[in-house]
Structure formats: C-alpha cells, structure tokens
Amino acid sequence: MNTNYVVETKGLGKSFKVASRSGAGFGAALKAFFKPEYKTVEAVVNVNFKLPEGEIRALIGPNGAGKSTLIKILCGVLHPTSGELNCLGVEPWKERLDYVRKIGAVFGQKTQLMWDLPASDSFLLNKKIYKISEDTYKRSLEYFKDKFALSDVLERPVRSLSLGERMKCELVAALLHEPALVFLDEPTIGMDILAKETVRRFVHDVNKDKKVSFILTTHDLGDVENLCKRITVINSGNIVFDKNMDDLRFAYGGSKLLSVRFTQPMDVKKIKDALEVSEDGMSAVWELPGHMDSYGSVIAKLTNEYPVADITIKNPEIETIIHDLYTAKK
C-alpha cells in the first residue's frame, strides 16, 4: 500500500455474529437459551479510504451507519474481518502499543483530564504514559501556552474551566506527544458559538503549524464546513460519498436561491416567475437549478429586464444537502 497516506484502506470490512431470536414467549426463550441461533451483521462493507498527510477529513453518517465501528478499527480497538489497512505504516490492531504512541484522540463527551486537579497534572501523567522526552514536552507545552494563551488556564482545576477552555486542554493532552494523526469525536458538542469558533481555530492552527492529520466525526456540520475541504460519508456500512465539499454541493445541492435587490420599487405583477417578492417591491427571489455550470445568462437577463442594485446567490444549507444524501442512499 502507498506509504504517502497517513491512513489507507482497501476493501475493509467488519462483521459481527449476533444472537437472533425468532418468536416471543417462554418457548421461544427456552429455544434461544438451549439452541441459540445467530445472524451475521455487516457493520463495515468494502471500505476504500485514503487520508493524505496534513489533511482534516470529515467522516460523517447517521446513527448506526458504521462510522463508530470504522473509527474503532482505525484506532486499533477492533480488528477487521476482511480487507487491508495501513495507518502510519502499521496495522493498528497488530502493533497497538507502537501505534497508540503515534495517534491522539479527543472525545467531546468523555474527558481524559482529572476533574479536581489542574490540567497541567494530567499533562504530566500523559508525559509518563507516552514516554515523552523532557525536550519534546517543554517544546509542545510552550507552543500551546503561547499560541493559545493557556498559561492561566492550566493551573486551575478542570471542574472550574468553561467548556471551551476544557476542550482546549483536552486537545493539548492529545497533542503533547506530537502525534501524526488525531481522531476528533464531537469536539464542539454543547458549546456556544464563541467557544465553537475558538476550538475550530485551535484545530485549524495546529493542523497548519504542525501538519497534524485529523479525522473528524461530528453531527455539527458547522465543524465540517469550517475545518474540512473533503468529506467522507458512510451509510449502512458503505462509503456513499468521498469528495470535496464543492462536489457535494454540486451533486446533492438541489436548487439555489438568487436574491435580487432593486434600485426602485417594482410593480409585483411585472416580476416574472419569482419565488417570492417583498411587499415594498424592492427585492425578489428566484429559484435556480443547483447543477447549472454558470448563472451568467440568468443574471444578464435579470439586469436587462429590471433595475438591479445587487444580486446574491445562496447555496442550500449543508444540513439539507447531507439529509438528502442520507435519504438518497438508503
């Protein structure tokens, strides 16, 4: 497999054998106990996935789609039942001790920090666990303290920190040993807008400065839009989309809204085929096909027919696009 990729999979699959019970009642319960029947569930099916060095990739899907199973395989927690996998030059489940020293993980709903102690104490513990050299530890800690103004935060008990401050400390804990790959699961869950922006900026800057690769799993599509150029969508265990965000909008964007503001009030009856017109006749909205290569001819026609002051084209919301993708691939 190509070693230029941080992660590369070929035909990766994972199946589970689960107990299956037919019928209800006491008789069915006895049968299931003495003569259990099993069925095979395919959680991950023929996944081909590549992550270049230094990329932030979104891996998303509806609940039960298989993304958690895939992440556990990539982390080395589970082994696949078929296919090939190379993460940072190793097969994670076979060389787990060596592999975990090369990766980091942050889970928004779980903490790796000691609740009643300052974050700096948790960092010292991680220094021992990961066998971080003194030079590396000091260099990493100084970078994060200077870059993100954490000096005052690190010496306060974790329980006294805001959600945004705690998440920055979680990220530092995952990055102190200078991993090449970091898994982020719901890093902004429960945060207000300002805290989300702080965490996103943190991830962006670390990616830019240190060339760390990230795999982001989230239900907050604002994280995806702000951090990722490429998105991988998994549904029913299969990769159903693996391209750039622009490709996603083009393929599943549906219609776009073209808003026009006029230089003077218009007679509503003279505005043709508009989706809506403002009561004062100063603006109107038209719906356009999302797959058009160019809207130049449409704009030219409008400027010829109406006294146009300003035109804007609005893309559909990313939430709408992802919903359409999920439902289209069921």
Is 240 within the bounds of a domain?
yes
User: What is the chain's pLDDT, residue by residue, as a tens digit (330 residues)?
Assistant: 666 799 999 999 999 988 787 777 777 777 777 788 888 999 999 999 999 999 999 999 888 889 999 999 999 999 999 999 999 999 999 999 899 999 999 987 788 999 999 999 999 999 999 999 999 999 999 999 988 888 889 999 999 998 889 999 999 999 999 999 999 999 998 888 888 998 999 999 999 999 999 999 988 888 998 999 999 999 999 999 999 987 887 777 667 788 999 999 998 788 888 888 998 999 999 888 766 656 788 888 888 889 999 998 877 777 777 777 777 655
Same domain, yes or no: 186 and 305: no
Same domain assignment for residues 165 and 191: yes
Is 286 found in the same domain as 140?
Answer: no
Q: Are residues 210 and 238 in the same domain?
A: yes
197 and 114, same domain (yes or no): yes
The whole domain housing 240 covers: 51-81+90-249
Contacts of 299 (CB under 8 A, 6+ apart): 258, 311
Do 144 and 99 fall within a single domain?
A: yes
Same domain, yes or no: 199 and 64: yes
Domain boundary among 233, 249, 265: 249
Looking at the structure of the chain, the number of domains it has is 2
CA 94/CA 79 separation, integer angstroms: 8
Q: State residue 293's pLDDT score.
A: 58
Q: 317: which DSSP letter?
A: P
Q: Which of 194, 229, 249 is the last residue of a domain?
A: 249
Give residue 204's identity as a one-letter amino acid code.
H
Q: Does the residue 199 lie in any domain? A: yes
Residue 172 lies in a domain: yes
Query: What value, to the nearest 5°, has the Cα angle with vertex 329 and ends 328 and 330?
Result: 100
Task: Please give the pLDDT value at position 193.
Answer: 86
Q: What is the pTM of this model?
A: 0.79
Same-domain check for residues 74 and 199: yes
Residues 68 and 115 in one domain: yes
Inside any domain, residue 17: no
pLDDT at res. 30: 78
Output the pLDDT for position 2.
60
**Residue 274, CA distances (Å) to 64, 277, 319 in order:** 41, 7, 25
Whether 77 and 213 share a structural domain: yes
End-to-end CA distance of the chain: 31
If asked whether residues 176 and 275 sit together in one domain, one would say no
d(CA 248, CA 244): 6
**CATH code at position 55:** 3.40.50.300
**302 in any annotated domain:** yes
Answer whether 302's CB lies under 8 Å from 311's CB: yes
Do the domain assignments include residue 94?
yes
- Would you state the pLDDT for residue 329? 56
For residue 129, being part of any structural domain is answered with: yes
Chain centre to alpha carbon of residue 89: 24
Is there a single domain that holds both residue 267 and residue 165? no
Asked if residue 36 belongs to a domain, the reply is no
